[in-house]
Amino acid sequence: MRDLYPLLFQPVLKDYVWGGRNLARRLGRALPPGNVAESWEIAAHEDGASLVSNGRFAGQPLTAVHAALGLDLIGANNAWAQERGKFPLLVKLLDAHDKLSVQVHPDDDYALAHEGNELGKTEMWVVLHAAPGTQVILGVRAGTTAADFRRAIGDGTLEQHLHTVDIQPGDFICVPSGSVHAILGGALIAEIQQNSNTTYRVYDWNRQANGRARPLHIDKALDVINFAQVEPALSPPRLVDERDGVRRLLLCRNRYFTVERVEFAPGAAYEGACDGRSLEIWGIIEGDVQLDDLALGAVQFALLPAALGPFRVAAAERAICLRCYVE
C-alpha cells in the first residue's frame, strides 16, 4: 500500500514528581514550563495518544490511525492486540531526575482480571545518559520472601531486600512483568513496553506530590511480584548479523516485542521490508540517518506500518538506532 509511509509524532508529555528538564537540556526539546518526567513518543492509550506530525495523517492521534488501518498498521503478529482493539506497544523517554517509586507491573492475566480491559506490562530500558554512580533496582536480594517483603514495607526496611545494579550510557535492561524495579535518579532512558499504564507501587521514598503521598498498591503488588527473580545481572547484547557496515545486536526478545541495536558505519545502509507481519519502530539514539525520504536525528522515533513494504535506512556518518518489531 503506497499510501502508507513512516509516521512521525508529536509526543505526549507527563509531569510526575520525579521528572526534570533533561529532555530540553540534553536533547534540545522544546518543553513547557516545569518539570517533565515522561515523553510518550509513540502512544495510543486512553491516558495519552501521540499525534501524527507528517503526511496525510498529520494531526490525527495514533488511536485514529490504528482504527483506520488495523492490521495494515500493526501486522498479523499483533492480531491478538487487534482483537482487543489495542495498539500493541508504547514508546517513551524517561527523565528520571529523581528516584521513581519502587514498583511492579502485572502480567496480562492478572491485569485483565483486576484492571478491566488494561493489559499487563513487560518493558525494557535503554540508557541514553546516566550520571556516575547511577543505579536501578531490579529484582530482590537472595533469601527474600513475600512475608519478608510485606513486613519490611510496614517497618520501613524495604531497601535491604531490593537488588541494585549500576548502569551507564549504552546499557539496556529487560524488565519482564513481575519484576520489582525502580530507576534511582540521574538517568535519561528510552523505554519500549506493552501498551499499558498499570503500575503497582510498593514504596515511594516517603515523599509527597501536591501535598499528599501518592497511593500504594501493596496487596496487588505482592500478588504479582516474582520473588524468584533474585539478584539478576545485566546481559550483554548478542550479535545477530554484521555485513556491509551494518551491525545488528539483539537486546531484548519476548512475546510482545524484539529490540535490536543497529550500528551504522559511515556510508552504510540497511535495506528492509515490512511484509505485513509486524510494524517496525526505529529510534535514532546517536547520529543522523535517512529513513526513506525522512531525515532523522537523535533522539527521534518513527513508526513503519506493517504493510509498508520495502524501506531503507542510511547513515552518511556513524549512527546508532533501535529497531523494534514483533515476532
Quick one: cell of 8? 512521525
Q: How distant is the alpha carbon of residue 128 from its chain centre?
A: 12
Residue of 150, 201, 253, 323 marked active site: 201
CA 142 – CA 163 distance, rounded (Å): 9
CB 155 within 8 A of CB 188: no
Segment holding 290, helix H or strand E: strand 288-291
Residue indicated by cell numbers 507527563 = 14
Active-site annotation holds for 201: yes
Q: Are 181 and 167 in contact (CB under 8 A)?
A: no
Q: Which residue has the cell 533533561?
A: 22
Using CA atoms, how far apart are residues 197 and 175, in angstroms rounded to an integer?
Answer: 15
Phi-psi label, residue 267: left if phi above 0, alpha if psi -120 to 50, beta otherwise: left
User: Quick check: 84 and 117 in contact, CB under 8 A?
Assistant: yes
- Taking the C-alpha atoms of residue 160 and residue 138, their distance in angstroms, rounded to an integer, is 13
Rg of the chain over all Cα atoms, to the nearest angstrom: 20
DSSP 169-236: TT-EEEE-TT--EEEBSSEEEEEEEES----EEEE-TT--BTTBPPP--HHHHHHH--TT-BS--PPP
Question: What distance in Å separates the CA atoms of residue 206 and residue 209, rounded to the nearest whole number?
Answer: 10
Pairing status of strand 12-14 against strand 38-42? antiparallel
Alpha carbon distance 152, 203 (integer Å): 10
| Residues carrying an active site annotation | 201
